[in-house]
Amino acid sequence: MIDGDMQAFGLTLDKFLEHAAKWRPRAQVVTARDGTPDRIGYADLKIRAGRVSVVLAGLGVRPADRVATLAWNSQDHVAVWYAVMGMGAVCHTLNPRLTASQLTDMIVQSQARVLVASADLAPLARQVLDGVGAAGRLLVIDGEAKEGEALEPMIAAARGDAPWGAFDETAPCGLCFTSGTTGAPKGVTYTHRSSYLHTLRILQADVMAFTGADAILAVVPMFHANAWGLPFAAPAVGAKLVLPGRHTDGASLARLIAAEGVTVAVGVPTVWLGLVEHVEATGERLPSLRRIIVGGAPMAPALMERIQDGLGVRVQTSWGMTELSPSGVVAPLCDPADAALAGRPAVGVDLLLTDADGAALPQQREVEGHLRVRGAAVIERYFGQEAPAVDEDGWFPTGDLARIDADGALMITGRAKDLIKSGGEWINPAEIEAVVGALPQVSLAAVIGRIDPKWGERPILLVEVKDGVDVSDEALLAPLRGKVASWWIPDAVLRLPRMPLAATGKIDKIQLRSQFGGG
């Protein structure tokens, strides 16, 4: 037996905020408002989050219970995150871009009985809770509560303590649904250990490379795969965390960057297109900004060049998925900027290219294959499902096609399925096709993605109407409203005399994409 041992130190997320509160107490979390921005230091944020834990405990929330949030990026949302996770409950983030019925389905699955919502999202939150048909508490942050109960007075009245970190590091901490990727949403459960290790990975010098000297603008939403881990990474190094609230237009972001001395900004490409267009139109300069990290959707080389030249910044590309917590690869600063390359993996995540049947390709470099991933922050099993999401060797099939160059850099070349990625969010054509295809005037309907300079891709609807039938575009699109998210509705309707069919009798989407996709 070897004498000696090391201390047990649970890898739980509360430790990031505790560290910042102790060693970087005056570093700030800043939230943009219509008037004066809200500011809070990490020490005060920890106290505030602790009081929210007391409130939740008083409402009957216990470890492993789910607490849902429907909120924009704000300091109150961050406080709720740490309050929920610190006490051992699970933070279930909801995407306000989805419909009430989609969100209700997710709440039914998670069985959350407390929903915390930004004030302007409270009416949607009420619809969601009403749709669940069970008793649920609606707590309102970020403004006056016209629906539900204001959380602020409850925080002020909170007394006592709710213990943090009194659970195993493998306990669940977060739940995020992959909206629309295969029809029914699937939940991804994060654990404290997985998110802790994910945070350490993205802090590496060859990944996102944040330091305590940075001011990080998190434009990527907190409801989108943990905001790529930024609410954990910023306090871990004591960086200033800047949150835009709901306003992410170019002018608002430019004001925020200039006022707060933002050094690194993180979000999808369409956000930065708006920023660079504002700068080009006004001649404004943003001297503090040094880097932009993009992901969520492919970036056109012309847009990368425009951003780098127009803003005078370095663009780092990345690729990931909700199932990866979500970072998979990031382009290191030492690599040349290249919009075609997603990046390269850091220690803690591994990549594999396979054939269509899942067998590893004998050659892993300079060939195209189906991409699989494994690592400490990669999904093992979806929420509520018994079957594993990985193969017998632990590899998770991403559904993407990719190439890995001779130096180990990853390039995403396509998707094995027909999903459309618009502005960093997935659109499922099958759901749109089911609605339009059911109309009596329509024989066949197909939805494909068409290249769009702003959103990456936008859906277009192709239809073969029944002979002799005259139907307007609006009549074809109107049934979609209220059944799918508004941003899923196709941008254009094209009528075909005959829908092309493949040998199997199915609609030939390869031909449709070639002819109408703009590629």
CATH of the domain at 365: 2.30.38.10
The per-residue pLDDT for range 406-449, each reduced to its tens digit, is: 999 999 887 777 889 899 888 888 889 889 988 989 988 999 99
Task: Say which CATH number the domain at 36 has.
Answer: 3.40.50.12780
Contacts of 99 (CB under 8 A, 6+ apart): 482, 483, 484, 485
> Where a domain ends, among 367, 392, 415?
415
Q: Crossing angle, helix 14-23 and helix 42-58, to 10 degrees?
A: 140
- Considering only residues 340 and 394, tell me which one the structure prediction assigns the higher pLDDT: 394
Report if residue 206 sits inside a domain.
yes
Q: Does the reported pTM lie above 0.75?
A: yes
Q: Are residues 390 and 435 in the same domain?
A: no
Q: What is the pLDDT at residue 504?
A: 45
> Where a domain ends, among 366, 398, 415?
415
Q: What is the pLDDT at residue 438?
A: 85
Domain that holds residue 90: 14-247
Q: Are residues 377 and 447 in the same domain?
A: no
- Identify whether the C-beta of residue 61 lies closer than 8 Å to the C-beta of residue 85: no
Task: Please give the structure tokens belonging to residue 232.
Answer: 């954990």
Q: Are residues 383 and 424 in the same domain?
A: no
Task: Please give the structure tokens belonging to residue 147.
Answer: 């629906």
Q: Which of 124-128, 142-146, 183-187 has the lowest mean pLDDT?
A: 183-187
> Where a domain ends, among 195, 225, 247?
247
β-sheet with 396-404: strand ranges across: 349-354, 368-375, 396-404, 410-415
Report if residue 70 sits inside a domain.
yes
Q: Are residues 433 and 357 in the same domain?
A: no
The per-residue pLDDT for range 159-212, each reduced to its tens digit, is: 999 999 999 999 999 999 985 544 467 999 999 999 999 999 999 999 999 999
Report if residue 318 sits inside a domain.
no
Q: Are residues 49 and 132 in the same domain?
A: yes
Q: Are residues 236 and 178 in the same domain?
A: yes
**C-alpha torsion 129→130→134→137, nearest 10:** 40
Report if residue 326 sits inside a domain.
no
Task: Say which CATH number the domain at 428 has.
Answer: 3.30.300.30
Q: Are residues 371 and 443 in the same domain?
A: no
Q: Give 256's pLDDT tier (boundaries 50, 70, 90).
A: very high
The CA-based angle 40-41-42, given to 5 degrees, is 120
Q: Does residue 505 carry a pLDDT above 60?
A: no
Q: Are residues 145 and 83 in the same domain?
A: yes
Instruction: Report the alpha-carbon distance of residue 260 to residue 28 in Å, rounded.
Output: 10
Q: Are residues 34 and 20 in the same domain?
A: yes
Q: What is the pLDDT at residue 437?
A: 87
Mean of all residue pLDDT scores within the chain: 93
Q: Are residues 430 and 407 in the same domain?
A: no
Q: Are residues 363 and 472 in the same domain?
A: no
> SS3 of 237, please?
helix
Give the total number of structural domains in the chain: 3
Report if residue 230 sits inside a domain.
yes
Instruction: Report the alpha-carbon distance of residue 448 to residue 462 in Å, rounded.
Output: 8
Report if residue 5 sits inside a domain.
no
> SS3 of 483, please?
coil
Task: Please give the structure tokens belonging to residue 225.
Answer: 């795969």
Catalytically active residues are: 178, 323, 421, 426
Q: Are residues 32 and 54 in the same domain?
A: yes
Report if residue 313 sits inside a domain.
no
Report if residue 257 sits inside a domain.
no
